Amino acid sequence: MEQSKTNKIILVTGACGQIGTELVKFLRQVNGSECVIASDIKPETYDLLKEGQYKFLDVLDIVSLEKIVKNCGVTHIYHLAAILSANGEQRPLQTWDVNMTSLLNVLEVARLNNVEQVFWPSSIAVFGQASPKNNCSQLAIHDPSTVYGISKSAGEYWCRYYYEQYGLDIRSLRYPGLISHSAEAGGGTTDYAVAIFHKAITEGAYECFLNEHTNLPMMYMEDALRATVELMEASLEGISKITSYNIAGMSFTPFELATEISTYIDDFLITYKPDHRQRIADSWPYIIDDNQAKQDWGWTPQYNISTMTVDMIDKLNRIYSTRANENRSQLNIASNKLESS
């Protein structure tokens, strides 16, 4: 195991989710693998176990959460556990309970145990029909149309409350749709932008659940990870928004993304069959104004739709090639066993 690079002990909840899967790896690279504890209610994965600790944790269980924080000497918490927008609409009361109770548990445990910093992700889902669609500003009105968005809006003010009442250092970003090559889609309205790459590579075709002209804010995961850590490392004196920062990467439609993919995958075919997620997407802004983040802590994205598409296709081709080779090896082993028996 590598030597510690920091005195931090970091706990990541929801570590098996879309963001957590990659954030744990990123934090271990930055801080040292032994300093980052991954936790979730899902079975641990080899990737999470091979370089550091994994703890089974239901964040609705405040006793278990506090036990881990105390016993491990946790100094920083990245609280990612949540039910996302599209899945949340199927289970609204459970979504509210999971998203809000877990946040309040984290804030209370952090307050009572002198945790130095908490990171909690908000979302563009706090905005809605009454919010500006073009260049939606940092202080634009919240008008969430989903339980997920309602929970994120309420959560922002709980974070501010704990900062103002107790001095708890809480940082937050309003993530747009996130695109990752390492994790499958997690039940969000913007997840077509992940699924489309997998289907393009494996099947050469994709049926999109949004219409072709649905313009939404997106961000490549590499940018999201960097933004998260940069915000957490920024001086508190420069942080003007405790609720949550608008953050932007790029905006595009399914048609525009499919056009980019077609540049690298011949004969790729996309069709459109909008479902209940279209209503959610239509309520969100299509361009986010993140000037406050740029001004306060120097945020700037590095990926656009073209550079993101090239990297996604390259990384996923490698992943699928590796899987195919592993499957062939397993078949050969099984065949040899049969022949020798």
DSSP labels for 94-154?
A: HHHIIIIIHHHHHHHHHHHTT-SEEE--EEGGG--TTS-SSSB-TTPPP---SHHHHHHHH
Phi, psi values for residue 215, rounded to 5°: -90, 125
Pair 79, 119: CB distance under 8 Å: yes
57, β-bridge pairs:
none
Pair 115, 73: CB distance under 8 Å: no
- Catalytic status, residue 148: yes
Sequence-ordered list of residues with C-beta below 8 angstroms from that of 98, at least 6 positions apart, any chain: 60, 81, 82, 83
The secondary structure of residue 125, as a DSSP letter, is G
Q: Give the DSSP H or E segment for 109.
A: helix 102-112
Question: Quick one: which of 208, 205, 169, 204 has its CA closest to 192?
Answer: 208
In sequence order, which ranges of 234-290 are alpha helices (DSSP H)? 254-262, 277-283
DSSP labels for 11-34?
A: EEESTTSHHHHHHHHHHHHHH-GG
Q: How many CB atoms within 10 Å of residue 289?
A: 18
Q: Which residue bears the tokens 């077609």? A: 262
Q: Which of 46, 54, 78, 148 is catalytic?
A: 148
Sign of CA dihedral 4, 6, 12, 16: negative
β-pair type (269-272, 205-208): parallel
Active site residues: 148
